[in-house]
Every structure is written in C-alpha cells, then in structure tokens.
C-alpha cells in the first residue's frame, strides 16, 4: 500500500483497540479495489476530544467500539434515525460541504448481527436471549425486534437493563436467573470472554443445551469459552467474526459508495485469526 498526501484516512476509535481486526479487514478491501485509502486503530480515552480531532485531521470516517458507542452521540452533528432509536453509534462518516465538515453517526451492528444469525434460523420465529445492556446489546436487540423476533434482555445491572428493555419494548430479566431462561438463540453482547479474560463465560455449560443457536460478539479469541461449550452442547455457533464481517461491509459501502468485496474481507479475517480461507 502506497500511503501519500492524497491517501484518505479511516480508523477505529475505542479503548482497547489493539485486538481489533477491523484494520486488517478494511485495508484488505481498500487494497483489492485499488483504493488510495487506509484504516488505522486509534486508542481513545477522551471521546469528546477525539471527535473534534476527526474534523481537524480530515479523517474521512471511523468505526466506534467499546466503550464509546453511546458516549459519542452528544458530540456528533447528526445521528441517523435508526442509530438515534437504538441509542448507540458504531459508524461515523465525515460529510464535507461549503459550510465545513460535519460528523454523522449511524449503526451497522444490527445489520451484521441479523445477517449472521439469519443463516442459522428464521429470526421472525425466534425467541432470543441477549446478554448485556450496552451499545452492542442495544443494536442487536433492536435489529432482532425489527426482524420479528421475541427478545429478552439479561444483564447484571438492573436499572440499565430495565431502562433499555423499556426503550426497546422488550422483556428484561436479571442475569441471576439466566439458568431458568430458554430460547431459540442466545447472544453474548458483552465483552466477557475477550482477551485477557478468555476463560470466562456468563452462562453455565449445562444451560446451553436449552438454545439451538449461540452467538458471541467477541472475536478475540475467535473461539470463546462460550462458543466452545455451546459447540460441545450441540448448538449451532456463530462467531463474532461473522458479525464483524457483515457490519464492516455495511460501513465500507457507506464510506465509499462502492460494493464491499465481502469475500476478500472474510479471507483477510480468517488468515488473521490463523484459519484457512
């Protein structure tokens, strides 16, 4: 890749971001199409200052990850209606006009989750338990509800979980009674299981057989403790890499107005995680 003064810069803002595979995925896509663009990781603690920096440095667009998906919203110039309803942003595009630069937030997480899960079940008939009440849980639960699924949020913090469930119009249950819940699909929408806590899971092995499909949004490691145990219990498993791929493809198309080279992006992700493409 020849980086020069005309190279358009994109990136991901979060804390941490060292584990992120988004740079590998997007740079492979740019390269395959001969685009003079580059995608970089930016570790960000102060999201307010970082957002202002996007305009000053002429960054063209960024992905937003943990813990900034909700916190970033007040600092954007525009938020699309879907992201506004979800209450979380994972994509920012920089709009340039005669009046200057504006930052517009949107959300592709729900698109990625729905596409990844729909391979394994009919979402319109699914009963889904979503673990978590953060930005990812918001987006995933929203997408599932839009597809006609029945959703139960399950979280440790009651106030946050209940408030989110009320906003979305779905059920909430405390994590303490997770062993009593059943459904078609279980989704871990928390960071539990991510490196360096890769030996952790929120649900006991014996309770996984109550679900037909188990998805984990964590992709570092690729095969989380949850997914290993779900596979052993006979469940269909959906890796975080699938959601990452499809939400990334949606981001790519938003930023570039070009069809995303999905198979190129998939191959890059598989190679990066030590799997054969």
Say which residues have a Cβ less than 8 Å from residue 90's Cβ, sequence separation at least 6.
Answer: 63, 64, 65, 69, 106, 107, 108, 109, 135, 139, 247
Domains in the chain, number = 2
- Domain identity same for 182 and 257: no
Residue 1 lies in a domain: no
Q: What's the confidence (pLDDT) of residue 19?
A: 85
Say which residues have a Cβ less than 8 Å from residue 8's Cβ, sequence separation at least 6.
Answer: 35, 36, 37, 38, 60
- Domain identity same for 96 and 133: no
Return the half-sphere exposure (C-beta side, CA atoms, 13 A cut-off) of residue 273.
25
Residue 195 lies in a domain: yes
- Domain identity same for 234 and 141: yes
Q: What's the confidence (pLDDT) of residue 189?
A: 96
pTM score, two decimals?
Answer: 0.86
Residue 166 lies in a domain: yes
Residue 3 lies in a domain: no
Residue 88 lies in a domain: yes
Q: What's the confidence (pLDDT) of residue 1?
A: 66
Quickly state the pLDDT bin for 133 (edges 50, 70, 90): very high
- Domain identity same for 115 and 198: yes
Quickly state the pLDDT bin for 276 (edges 50, 70, 90): low
- Domain identity same for 233 and 135: yes
Residue 277 lies in a domain: no
CATH of the domain at 97: 3.40.50.10860
The whole-angstrom separation of Cα 19 and Cα 16 is: 7
Catalytic residues: 69
Residue 81 lies in a domain: yes
- Domain identity same for 121 and 194: yes
Q: Has residue 266 got a pLDDT over 90? A: yes
Of 202, 179, 79, 39, nearest in space to 131 by CA: 202
- Domain identity same for 131 and 246: no
For 57-66, what is each residue's pLDDT tens digit?
999 999 999 8
Question: Is residue 22 a contact partner of residue 12, using CB atoms and an 8 Å limit?
Answer: yes
- Domain identity same for 233 and 119: yes
Residue 2 lies in a domain: no
Range of the domain at 68: 8-107+242-272
The whole-angstrom separation of Cα 189 and Cα 60 is: 28
178 phi, psi to nearest 5 deg: -55, -35
For 74-121, what is each residue's pLDDT tens digit?
999 999 999 998 888 999 999 988 888 999 999 999 999 999 999 999
CATH of the domain at 121: 3.40.50.720
Stated length of the chain: 277
**Mapping DSSP to helix (H, G, I), strand (E, B) and coil, where does residue 214 land?**
strand
- Domain identity same for 183 and 266: no
Q: Has residue 277 got a pLDDT over 60? A: no
- Domain identity same for 120 and 229: yes
Say which residues have a Cβ less than 8 Å from residue 163's Cβ, sequence separation at least 6.
Answer: none
- Domain identity same for 200 and 264: no
Question: Is residue 103 a contact partner of residue 92, using CB atoms and an 8 Å limit?
Answer: yes
- Domain identity same for 232 and 249: no
Quickly state the pLDDT bin for 2 (edges 50, 70, 90): confident
């Amino acid at each position: 890749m020849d980086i020069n003064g005309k190279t358009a810069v994109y990136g991901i803002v979060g804390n941490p971001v060292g584990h992120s595979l988004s740079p590998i995925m997007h740079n492979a896509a740019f390269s395959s199409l001969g685009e003079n663009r580059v995608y970089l990781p930016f570790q960000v603690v102060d999201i307010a200052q970082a957002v202002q920096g996007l305009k000053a440095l002429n960054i063209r667009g960024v992905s937003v990850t943990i813990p900034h998906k909700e916190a970033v919203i007040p600092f954007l110039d525009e938020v699309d209606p879907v992201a506004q309803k979800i209450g979380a942003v994972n994509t920012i595009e920089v709009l340039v006009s005669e009046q200057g630069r504006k930052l517009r937030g949107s959300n592709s997480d729900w698109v990625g989750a729905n596409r990844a899960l729909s391979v394994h079940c009919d979402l319109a008939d699914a009963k889904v338990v979503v673990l978590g009440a953060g930005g990812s849980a918001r987006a995933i639960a929203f997408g599932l509800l839009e597809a006609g699924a029945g959703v139960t949020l399950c979280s440790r913090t009651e106030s946050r979980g209940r408030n989110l469930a009320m906003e979305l119009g779905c059920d909430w249950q405390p994590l303490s009674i997770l062993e009593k819940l059943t459904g078609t699909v279980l989704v871990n929408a928390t960071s539990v299981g991510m490196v360096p806590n890769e030996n952790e899971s929120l649900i006991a092995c014996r309770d996984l057989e109550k679900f037909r499909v188990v998805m984990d949004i964590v992709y570092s490691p690729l095969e989380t403790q949850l997914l290993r145990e779900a596979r052993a219990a006979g469940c269909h498993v959906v890796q975080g890499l699938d959601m990452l791929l499809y939400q990334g493809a949606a981001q790519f198309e938003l930023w570039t107005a070009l069809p995303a080279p999905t198979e190129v992006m998939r191959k890059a992700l598989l190679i990066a995680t030590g799997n054969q493409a």
